[in-house]
A and B are shown apart, each in its own frame.
Chain A
Amino acid sequence: MSPPGASGIRVASNAASAGPVLYTWRLRTPCTAEDAATVSCDSRTRACPPVEGRVIQFLVVQRQRLAQPDGNPVEDVPPPSGTATGAPYGPWITDGGSCVDVTDLNPPPSPGEVFQYFQRLPLPELETRHQPPGNALSGLPVIFYTDSPATQTFTVDIRGFTVIIDARAERYTWHTGDGPPITSTDPGRPYPDHTVEHDYDSGRYTARLTVTWGATFTVDGSAPADVPGTTTTEGPPVTFDVLEARPVLTNPYD
């Protein structure tokens, strides 16, 4: 474990030390290092400056003394009698929270790291379907739905770890082109089971669908965990005319 560099970032590594090894180290998230029941974890965490290609996390750094070959004290505390050389002893000493570059430890992808990948995935852009197809009639609601797939699975490689991201559409925002959007948690259905509709006056309108995606992920077959955040896709717009319906008397014998 290095001391903080000019950027304030410490570097964690399992590489052999040049001098005597005085400590064993451990890294903990603020919530495991302290009592999360009394203080919010978020208040103990701060953002770390991103460095391209490096994994940097805000962690609590703790160290424990290791018994030296000559039995000399480390930080003024000698090992208890009988302690084997190289064995840890004494209390864990907390160095406090730091931004730590843990890339060399090759940690599994964190939820935040997976979220960064999730935001860049080529998620489907769901198409807006409407009924009646083609032109619509004023006074007759226009039904919206989408029959595009609402789930998609991606397998990505993150620093050598196989990460499977199961994305699912969680919220549908229908921009009708006429007033505020309509929000639903289902993709709508065609007539007669429709759930999303809008009444238009006559005119030309352009509608589109924004989908909010959530996801779960697994790392090398682990139990699924939620991706901490959502992302959106914009579907292609569709334009249609709404015509004024005119009653016309017809001769049923014509």
Chain B
Amino acid sequence: MKTIKPQNNRQHQLSSCDPRVKLVAALALLVMVISSAGIAFPLLVTAFGLGVCIWLQVPAKQLLMRFAEPLFLVMVVLLLKALFSGGEPLASIDLHWLQLSVSRTGLLEGCRIAARICGAVTLVAALGFATPFTELLAALAWLRLPRGFIEVTVFAWRYLFVLADDAQVIHAAQKNRLGYVGVRRSFRSLGTLAGALVIKAFDSSQTMTVAMTQRGYDGTLPLMKHRPFRPSELLTSLLIVTAMGIFWRL
């Protein structure tokens, strides 16, 4: 939770860029990455995404935290594909009690998937770091995502941090009262924590609705209005996507 808030509120060079341009460019590159048959193109996108993150001065610790899970998955997929795909063996490891063979086709396939994961993850991370969430939602609404979905996401985002703080306070209080000593107590404490959060959510939604109704809420939220597209932004993103498209075709 701590990793979401600060970066999302920061001002940087890409803050002023139209979120629709950033979103459409990122989605186009994402489609290219996941449809790529080779390793080179996803790795190029990985380098591009990392470059954007570094340019936006995302702290290294935050980047590492973001990539920890996908990198672990990359390792698991590589091992699974290399060791259990069958086919022509590239190398064998004899552990006395088990003989493991690394297959050439499996290793190649594993590398392909690993490159795809790296490319796609860095790309989406760069998009997330470059765009405030509310602007991203407005861009998704422009892409004709159902309004109900966008509105629910706006409410969720607005109260996420409040509820997370409440959860932390309840968790700390439970821990101080030995609520997590022993399995049975831990289970009961977690249930109480989840129940308390649900009660908070119910009560907050009622209070919020009353407050919003007094301000004219009729069941639909006004969403952010977009300014007209700037030709320079369109041209730059078109150039990037076209250049990447040429590499993708090669």
A interacts with B = no
Binding site for A on B (CB under 8 A): none
